[in-house]
Amino acid sequence: MSNAYKAPLADIGFVIDELAGLGAIAACPGFAAWDSATAQALLASGARFYEDVWAPSNRPADVSGARLVGGTVETHPALDDIYRQTMAGGWNVLPRAPGLGGEAVPWLIHAVFLELAASGNGSFALLTGLIAGASELLRAHASPDQLERYVSKLESGEWAGAMDLSEPGAGSDLGALTTRALPQPDGTYRLFGTKRYISWGDHEITRNIVHLVLARTPDAPPGTAGISCFIVPKYLVDDLGRIGARNDIRAFAVEQNMGFRASPTCVMTLGDEGGAMGYLVGAENAGMRIMFTMLNSNRLATALGALGISERARQAALAAAKMRVQGVPPGAPAGSAIVAHADVRRMLMTQRALCEAMRAICYCTAAAFDLAAHAADEATRVRHQQRANLLTPVAKAWCTDMGIEVTSLAIQLLGGAGFVEDSGVAQHFRDIRIMSIFEGTNGIQAQDLVGRKLGQAGGETVAALLAEIAALAASLNDDAALAPLGTALAGAVAKLREATAWMLAEGNGRSPAALAGASAYMRLFGGVLAGFMLARSAQAAKAEQATHGADFAAGKVATARFYCEQLLPYALAASGPAMAGPEAHFGIAEGAL
């Protein structure tokens, strides 16, 4: 059964131009070259690369998996050549501020490449994504010597990066980690401990791996306040940048993952032979602040990964629905494919609506990153930073939750064949399931939203977004074809406004009642935001019908209508649970659960 992938370039181009506002980014200092035509040409070339080079490796690499053999981590052999092609072609596009070397690439364009990579091979996309994350962190906090020694090798792809954060007893709560870093007379540190769930923790695809390790120095304060960040290279590097002896950091095991089997998720040990050599990044006890540099970008990257996998699953389901013959839909001729069944259409339209909403949310968040960093005036930068702060936990949690729904529906649409690994869609479901756990579980994202992000700027940031949604709802009434969307959106934003006011009144979202309702509030917020994005899409596509075509515009209107009629009511139902308080959660004593 075919599980081919074709990049949805028409929708990608539409979203970056009409919703995310590439033109506004191109007006920022250093980004003048990024007009729509330039972006579209680059993305078309990149799409062909990920379709033709990456996508065919997804299933074979999953089947073979990653394994530890005689102390060496082995991955599918095709990935070595794919990696070399990726780096030689410059396809691991990195967002860089102007003046940091190379051509400045907006985060919005980087976001598209993150989606394409995840659609091509989600396991492999983790490796290239880790390089971008390590580079971002070191660009912000490394010493000049560390920048010269490590970052150029990362950004060229000659070396890979890894984030060694979690431990057997410290996952979401990094304050519980116990890895030790002992200072040495020469200013280096010796590290001892065990790290777990380290994506691409070891492999032979690159000549070196730059591990960024969180650890505690002697007498460090407890909790997250006592965490420091260290560079721990797999192989030591001399003053001339040459690779030397193997460092005392090794893969003890490769986890048997449910998904992302092509990615070596490693248990790493440090210090079995006297201590892993480490180099402090920034100051002691500043490790969590340093890691927060890339927190928002990592969370958005996770959302984009979920989008990429969802899009590929959607395409596989649609192809199967157009080919499979099962039953005779009312009014359809014998031999009709199942795409003619109403319930099959329900599932296909759900997948389409969710994927398009996810893309819009992710790309608009990426655009806020760009404007926060590069807009010409400070007030604009501050406003967009606050918008990025607000949208990031929603993008991460809502998109990864909806990605699980999209990939689950792909299995349902294929029927029994979907439950068989040969179909390929089972892999998409397995792969995406970790996304709601990555980079802070979705429960943590929900608590971050209600406890920190709603109250920023005295609640003005969320109020401005709600005002935008209400204004769009009102404007839709000017078009008879869009008026039903306006009615649905007006009711939705009223419910979201009520729940938001309740959350802000509950200790700025920090009371037990607010935290108990945080996940329900996230479903409400994400669901209304999705409706807003799809309604914006419908309006923009109709207004620019000469550019995008009548069929494209009709598809956007139909998708928004389906979402507002069939899916938005489920999101609005979460408003009651969001404000219900914690009593039902604790209605049974712990011992009786």
Q: Is residue 571 part of a domain?
A: yes
> Catalytic: 155?
no
List 204, 439, 468, 590, catalytic entry: 439
Residue 296 lies in a domain: no
456 burial level (CB within 10 Å; 0-12, 13-18, 19+)? middle
Pairing of strands 228-233, 209-215: antiparallel
Q: Which of 285, 303, 330 is the last residue of a domain?
A: 285
Domain end point (choices 255, 285, 315): 285
Distance between CA atoms of residues 201 and 59, nearest Å? 21
Tens-digit pLDDT profile for the chain (593 aa)?
457 899 999 999 999 999 999 999 999 988 988 999 999 999 999 999 999 999 999 999 999 999 999 999 999 999 999 999 999 888 887 775 444 444 578 999 999 999 999 999 999 999 999 998 899 899 999 999 999 999 989 988 999 999 999 999 887 788 889 999 999 999 999 999 999 999 999 999 999 999 999 999 999 999 999 999 999 999 999 998 999 999 999 999 999 999 999 999 999 999 999 999 999 999 999 999 998 887 888 999 999 999 999 999 999 999 999 999 999 888 889 989 999 999 999 999 999 999 999 999 999 999 999 999 999 999 999 999 999 999 999 999 999 999 999 999 999 999 999 999 999 999 999 999 999 999 999 999 999 999 999 999 999 999 999 999 999 999 999 999 999 999 999 999 999 999 999 999 999 989 999 999 999 999 999 999 999 999 999 999 999 999 999 999 999 999 999 999 999 999 999 999 999 999 999 999 999 99
Q: How many domains does the chain have?
A: 2
Q: Which two tokens stand for residue 108?
A: 């919005």
Q: How far apart are CA 231 and CA 237, in angstroms?
A: 11
Task: With H, G, I as helix, E, B as strand and everything else as coil, classify residue 333.
Answer: coil
> Is 507 inside a domain boundary?
yes
In a domain, 60, yes or no: no
Sign of the four-CA dihedral 387, 388, 391, 393: negative
At residue 17's C-alpha, the angle toward residues 309 and 42, to 5°, is: 65
Residue 449 lies in a domain: yes
Q: Is residue 525 part of a domain?
A: yes
Per-residue confidence (pLDDT) for residue 329, from 0 to 100: 86
Residue 503 lies in a domain: yes
CATH number at residue 253: 2.40.110.20
Task: Count Cβ atoms below 10 Å from residue 388 Cβ, excluding itself.
Answer: 25
Quote the radius of gyration of the chain (alpha carbons, Å). Answer: 24
Identify the pLDDT of residue 3.
73
Whether 550 is covered by a domain: the verdict is yes
Identify the domain boundary among 285, 320, 346.
Answer: 285
Domain of residue 206 covers: 161-285
User: Which one, of 576, 464, 478, 484, lies nearest residue 524 by Cα?
Assistant: 576
Q: Is the separation of the CB atoms in 413 and 324 below 8 Å?
A: no
Cα of 209 vs its chain's centroid, Å: 23
CA of residue 287 relative to chain centroid, distance? 22
Q: Which residues of 319-338 are buried (b: 16+ CB within 10 A; e: fewer)?
A: bbbeebeeeebeeeeeeebb
DSSP for residue 166: -
